[in-house]
Amino acid sequence: MIHACRQSVAAEICIGQGDLVPPEFRHHLDGPPWGTVRSKPVSWLGRGSEGAGNNQQGNNLVKLFINTTSPYARIARIALWEKGFRDIETRIVDPWGDDPDLLAANPAARVPTLVTDDGQALAESLLIVLWLEAVRPEPTLLGGDAAGGVARAGTAMGVIDAAVHTLIGRKTAGVSFDGSPVGLRRQRSMAEGLKRLDADPPEPGDGTPPLAAIAAAVALDYVQFRFPQAGWMPPVPRLERLQQRMRTRPSVEQTRPHD
């Protein structure tokens, strides 16, 4: 059993595209040493245990290390699913627990980490997407407007980073972090990023959703998951409509964050 607060907050805050929590702050995180939390192997990318399609021969993917709340891991899971890699062994780990297999694959102990059959370990969600676009160009995740899509995805990643680093701040500085200059800057980044996405939301399309739509939906889901009563949360009706459309995709619905 992975304890909710340890697996959800502590694991996700060390896996972002940005800074790691400094080692001297690790003792501030809740509960006993993270090594007491065991990793959990599973064989699916989503919540359900039913198979979601078999990989074709030669896909060369062996294992994906994740945790169930990380927005970064979720982006990689959705991208893999939409590219047809839906039956990879998926292993839930606590990166703070120094899981030996995760450390062997990635010395930074970050999730997502995707391991290929020749031992290559691919880390960071957007780099995994870049690799997917190279090895399996179709269906593309960039959509018809690559520059515009990447720009919107970048805005969504800024929201995600600000949310994750707000959790880091709370863990290292306490509840007063939210009112600090850095905490207020993080709130502004989330609020303004969501408003910008709402003003010009990505189009999910009728087929494979582009990265911009994936990242925007993941960002909104994550902020609502972690900050459900936030007074600074702006109204985002157009973004919420995108969110609902995206949830019709099994790759999105079955990877929603949960403790």
146-253 CATH, one of 1.20.1050.10, 3.90.1150.10, 2.60.120.200, 3.30.365.10:
1.20.1050.10
Q: What is the mean pLDDT of residues 69-87?
A: 95
Q: What is the mean pLDDT of residues 29-33?
A: 34
What pLDDT is recorded for position 96?
Answer: 73
Q: Which two tokens stand for residue 38?
A: 């065991």
For the stretch 59-68, pLDDT in tens is 467 899 999 9
What pLDDT is recorded for position 76?
Answer: 97
Given a cut of 60, whether residue 39 has pLDDT beyond it is no
Percent of the chain with pLDDT over 70: 77
Mean confidence (pLDDT) of the chain: 82
For the stretch 144-177, pLDDT in tens is 899 999 999 999 999 999 999 999 899 889 989 9
Candidates 243, 53, 35; CA nearest to 156 is 243
Strands 40-42 and 121-123: unpaired
What pLDDT is recorded for position 172?
Answer: 87
Angle among Cα 213, 218, 223 to the nearest 5 degrees reads 130
What pLDDT is recorded for position 171?
Answer: 87
pTM for the model: 0.80
For the stretch 179-219, pLDDT in tens is 999 999 999 999 999 999 999 999 998 899 999 999 999 99
Q: Which two tokens stand for residue 204?
A: 């999910």
Q: Which two tokens stand for residue 133?
A: 């676009």
Model confidence band, residue 25 (pLDDT cutoffs 50, 70, 90)? very low
Helical packing angle, 211-226 and 146-173, nearest 10°: 20
What pLDDT is recorded for position 29?
Answer: 37
What pLDDT is recorded for position 119?
Answer: 86
DSSP 184-244: HHHHHHHHHHHHHHHHSPPP--SSSPPHHHHHHHHHHHHHHHH-TT-TTPPP-HHHHHHHH
Q: What is the mean pLDDT of residues 227-254?
A: 96
Using only C-alpha atoms, what is the Rg of the chain? Answer: 18
Given a cut of 80, whether residue 84 has pLDDT beyond it is yes
What pLDDT is recorded for position 26?
Answer: 37
Query: What whole-number distance in Å separates Cα of residue 185 and Cα of residue 171?
Result: 17
4-135 CATH, one of 3.30.450.60, 3.40.630.30, 3.40.30.10, 3.30.530.20:
3.40.30.10
Task: Please state the domain extents for the chain.
Answer: 4-135, 146-253
